[in-house]
Amino acid sequence: MRGRRDSKKQKVSEDQVHVSGDAEKLQRTNQSGLSQKIPVKRHAASLGKSCGVAHSGVNRKQDVAEHEEGSEGDTPGEQYGGNGFPISMNMEEINDSDWEDGSAHASKYKGSDSEAFINGITVELNPLQDFSHRKIKRRASTEDKEVAELVHKVHLLCLLARGRIIDKACDDPLIQASLLSLVPAQLLKLSEIQKLTGVSLHPLISWFHSHFKVTRLSSEEKFFPSAMAQALEAKHGTLEEIAALSVALFRAMNLTARFVSLLDVVPLKPGVDKGDLPFKGAQGKAKGIFKNPTVMIDSFNPKPVSPAQPTLCSDKNNEDSKKLKSSNATNEINGFQELKRKGDAEYEMQMEMALSATAFEVSEDAVAAKATNDSFPSPTTLGRITTGLLPSSSSQPVATAVGASKIGAPLHWAEVYCSGENSIGKWVHVDAINGLLGGEERVEAAAAACKTSLRYVVAFAGYGAKDVTRRYCRRWYRIAPHRVNTPWWDEVLAPLKELESRATGGSIKLPFTNDSGLHQEMVVESSMKSEFVATGSILEDMELETRAFYEPLPTNQQAYRNHPLYALERWLTKYQVIHPKNPILGFCNGFPVYRRSCVQILKTKEKWMREGLQVRHNEFPAKVLKRIDKSVKEQLHEDDDSEETNSGGTIELFGKWQLEPLSLLHAVNGIVPKNDRGQVDVWSEKCLPHGTVHLKLPRIFALAKKLEIDYAPAMVGFEFRNGRSVPVYDGIVVCSEFKDILLEAYAEEKGRKETEERKRNEREVISRWYQLLSSIITRQRLNNCYGSRQPNSPGKVVTLTSGASNENLSTSQQHVEKMELEQHIAVSVSHSTEEHDHEHMFVTVKKCSLENGSLVTKRCQCGFSVQVEEI
DNA sequence: CTGCATCAGGTGTCTTTGAACCCA
DNA sequence: TTGGGTTCTTTGACACCTGATGCA
């Protein structure tokens, strides 16, 4: 509670900061010599309110509320509203939207408006406040999250595309040939080694490391192969270029090599780890994601520093190593000896337990790698690059602290396939820039030390790509939440993986000849290629997947919350249970750690039934929950003795291991088996009782009832309406034998209803026309008797002004009839008016019988006729 | 300074089976 | 009188996530 109270206090304080902060804006914008306080007080006086002067420690919102109340309808209030923001604007909105974005709004109040704005608000400056440290936190909305994810994905795709471009450049035959021409002859023998091992690569990497330097962090916007060629010529360039050159060299020497890139993508979640945003330091130049992530550190201290200390050139390391010793408590000279922190011992023990429990042996290589870890430089050492060639008068933005911390993050390196490693071969990490070999275990730590999160490590070859992050991370559970959803990523990589797989496996390399200095690459595709491709790729996949099994157990309980492999009982939800409770992989703070696969989801019988499953007989609930429900409470009050009520107060949950396929009831003698409510729950077709069908036709229940066929309403789900969830019904369930009868009857009934409806409409139309014509006749008679010379009557077409005449004439047939009648009436009336005083004498000419009477057609000698329906 | 444990609040998801009244 | 249709009113418990805080 204390913490909560404190946070509330802080909130008030923040409000005060807002006021003061805006006062600062006013101060900034009110450059015309106006005092900061005087106008404010003047306005306060004009309002006659004591709220005028803000008093430190008084809630600003209260002040503003009072202010609004007092200024309602007043001119000052209108000024306030008109200059700052509408007076009707909710102050909460103002808090949320306006105060936070100081720079944007500051400009809004410049000029003549500023004074009026100041008049409308009461502030007091607190010079002791440090506004630069004001931190306004806003919870990310769903939209923010979606946007962040989209940006993350786009950035990822851009970096993938970039990697492919670089990879393609590594295959450039000219660059490869040029590189080969530089390599000493004795090193070229490397290509002849049948069973290549990491160790055999040492001389080559050493040579490369001593000849090529990283001198820039960001590349110019230049076509990459050209930039690479220039770097080759100059023997220095960017990280990307030098790493790509190393890959090109390996490929030129007929080694199977990949260009590997750590994709430093913008965070997946909004507002997370903003310091790591690759483009943040670019001073808003909005070109970050398309450039090297370390672009913002272009012009850090140009003091010439020796290149990265290679493991293989250890004599260079001493001095820097000493610096390291003092600067990085976790590292020692080339030793990277981890500090023995609390929990490390437990970690080691758990690691062993996990390994034994998962029955996976740590390969000798892993042990060897661990052993060789001691020979790698620290992440900080990795960060050293040569910057002496940078112009001291660079106009590039000065590096930020955050950006600077990213210097030296391992972003690009190579992987060389060493067939001599293991019995099946192995991809070996080769960082020729830093002279590192087999240092995959170090990459994560080095990246972390340089504030670069290791989330995606992608290997490029053959214009394809493959995610090899697993190889470089030790704690996948930490990375996984920061990666994009797996299906999407897999889908993106699938075609690229195929390309990569084709390029890196299955080629048999013949001994090359080096005639007249020109390297002849002879690669003969083996007839077994496809088999090897599949095997090699799958083996690597297996290797990467297997790493998950010897991932160490986290030492903190929190890490088990969403750990993909391990689970603690305490983090289970109420609908989860551990089953079976073995093996125990280890302990965390005394709590047993289980496999995630042992976490079972529990559901009620009803829920399982919806999935076409039912609980086996004599199975006890895996878990029983107490239901705290209003209705149950009420029920308990009403009927304390009922056992049903007692059981209704709990929820019995069952696990998947207690289930069997749903055995549905059978319809017998045309009777549909129903539930307690006299209905059938049709969650899916699986839930339909045997021998029944679901007929989804409107009002078919009425027909079933009429035909005395047994049926049950089909409840297909629920919808929330009027504050409660109500069942949704769709059609009925009847026995299969009645299906055809019902459908036929339904069709027949439908036809009958349509006919009935049509006849009814016709009768209605006729009736209305009769009314119309009757009124016309009456009108005509009246005209004849009393107003035959009225100006608007003679010779005029009678228009259909009757309200009834326009209704029910929607069909085309009716429309035609109407038009015909109009003509008829027009002719008749016109004719009759020509006869002046003619009085119609109707003679019955036609009589036809109807259902409820007869239709009589009467015609006058003048040609005017009417139809009269006699009932 | 960092990482972890704990707590509390915000947010989103899942839950779920009327009753009164009118009218033909 | 009865059965069918319409209208009324607009949950709340809980899991999960996140930020704040204290502690080692």
Nucleotide nearest to A626 (CA to C1'): C13
Report the pLDDT averaged over residues A314-321.
37
Q: What total number of domains does chain A contain?
A: 5
Q: Is residue A676 part of a domain?
A: yes
Q: Is residue A264 part of a domain?
A: yes
- Residue A646 sits in the same domain as residue A757: no
Q: Is the CB of A637 under 7 A from strand B?
A: no
Backbone angles phi, psi at A155, to 5 degrees: -60, -40
- Residue A615 sits in the same domain as residue A679: no
**Higher per-residue pLDDT: A132 or A240:** A240
CA dihedral A215, A218, A220, A222 (to 10 degrees): 100
pLDDT at A795: 38
Tell me: pLDDT of A572 over 80: yes
pLDDT at A696: 87
Which residue in this structure is represented by tokens 């006086």?
A45
Tell me: pLDDT of A49 over 70: no
Q: Is the CB of A573 under 7 A from strand B?
A: no
Q: Is the CB of A481 under 7 A from strand B?
A: no
Q: Is residue A68 part of a domain?
A: yes
Report the pLDDT averaged over residues A376-402.
32
- Residue A782 sits in the same domain as residue A804: yes
- Residue A48 sits in the same domain as residue A176: no
Q: Which one-letter amino acid corresponds to residue A565?
A: L
What CATH number is attached to the domain comprising A411? 3.90.260.10
CA dihedral A523, A526, A530, A534 (to 10 degrees): -70
Quick one: how far is CA A780 from the chain centroid? 76
Q: Which among A154, A148, A150 is positioned nearest to A270, based on CA atoms?
A: A148
Backbone angles phi, psi at A814, to 5 degrees: -65, -35
pLDDT at A150: 82
- Residue A119 sits in the same domain as residue A152: no
- Residue A677 sits in the same domain as residue A656: no
- Reported confidence tier of residue A176, pLDDT bands at 50, 70, 90: very high
- Residue A620 sits in the same domain as residue A690: no
Task: For residue A145, give every residue at least 6 positions away whose Cβ sits within 8 Å of its Cβ, in sequence order, or none.
Answer: A269, A270
Q: Is residue A256 part of a domain?
A: yes
pLDDT at A838: 65
Q: Is the CB of A340 under 7 A from strand B?
A: no
Tell me: pLDDT of A633 over 50: no
Tell me: pLDDT of A171 over 90: yes
Residues A204-229, buried b or exposed e (16+ Cβ, 10 A)? bbbbbbeebbbbbbbbeeeebbebbb
pLDDT at A245: 95
Helix (DSSP H) and strand (DSSP E) numbers for chain A? 29, 28
- Residue A43 sits in the same domain as residue A124: yes
Indicate the residue among A661, A689, A705 that finishes a domain. A661
> Which CA-bearing residue is nearest the C1' of B4?
A556
Report for A611-620, A798-807, A812-821: range of highest mean pLDDT: A611-620
Q: Alpha carbon of A263 to those of A301, A413, A456, A626, A801: distances in Å? A: 25, 12, 5, 49, 78
- Residue A646 sits in the same domain as residue A671: no
- Residue A641 sits in the same domain as residue A672: no
Q: Is the CB of A392 under 7 A from strand C?
A: no
Nucleotide nearest to A271 (CA to C1'): C18
Find out whether A228 and A245 touch, Cβ atoms under 8 Å: yes
Q: What is the pLDDT of residues A439-470, one digit of tens each?
A: 888 888 788 777 777 889 999 999 999 999 98
Residues 288-347, chain A: which have Cβ under 7 A from strand C?
A: 342
Tell me: pLDDT of A89 over 90: no
CA dihedral A191, A194, A200, A201 (to 10 degrees): 40
- For residue A131, the cross-strand partners are none
pLDDT at A301: 36
Quick one: how far is CA A316 from the chain centroid? 48
Report for A79-93, A440-454, A506-520: range of highest mean pLDDT: A440-454
Q: Where are the beta strands (DSSP E) in A95-205?
A: none
Q: Is residue A766 part of a domain?
A: yes
Tell me: pLDDT of A321 over 80: no
Report for A5-14, A102-111, A184-193, A322-331: range of highest mean pLDDT: A184-193
Q: Is residue A326 part of a domain?
A: no
**Higher per-residue pLDDT: A93 or A747:** A747
Q: Is residue A517 part of a domain?
A: no
d(CA A853, CA A858): 16
Residues 664-723, chain A: which have Cβ under 7 A from strand B?
A: 675, 677, 679, 681, 715, 717-718, 720-722
Tokens found for residue A125? 């400056």
**Among the ranges given (A259-268, A295-304, A368-377, A841-850), the one the predictor scored with the smallest mean pLDDT:** A295-304
pLDDT at A638: 44
CA of A672 to C1' of B14 (A): 31
Q: Which domain holds residue A630?
A: 605-661
- Reported confidence tier of residue A193, pLDDT bands at 50, 70, 90: confident
Q: Is residue A589 part of a domain?
A: no
Q: What is the pLDDT of residues A693-752, one digit of tens each?
A: 999 888 888 888 888 899 998 888 888 777 778 888 888 999 999 999 999 988 888 888
- Residue A773 sits in the same domain as residue A787: yes
Find out whether A543 and A427 touch, Cβ atoms under 8 Å: no
> Which CA-bearing residue is nearest the C1' of B3?
A556
Indicate the residue among A70, A99, A133 that finishes a domain. A133
> Which CA-bearing residue is nearest the C1' of C15?
A573
Indicate the residue among A646, A661, A676 that finishes a domain. A661
- Reported confidence tier of residue A70, pLDDT bands at 50, 70, 90: very low
- Residue A653 sits in the same domain as residue A669: no
Query: Which strand C nucleotides have any atom less than 7 A from protein CB atoms?
Result: 4-5, 8-11, 13-22, 24
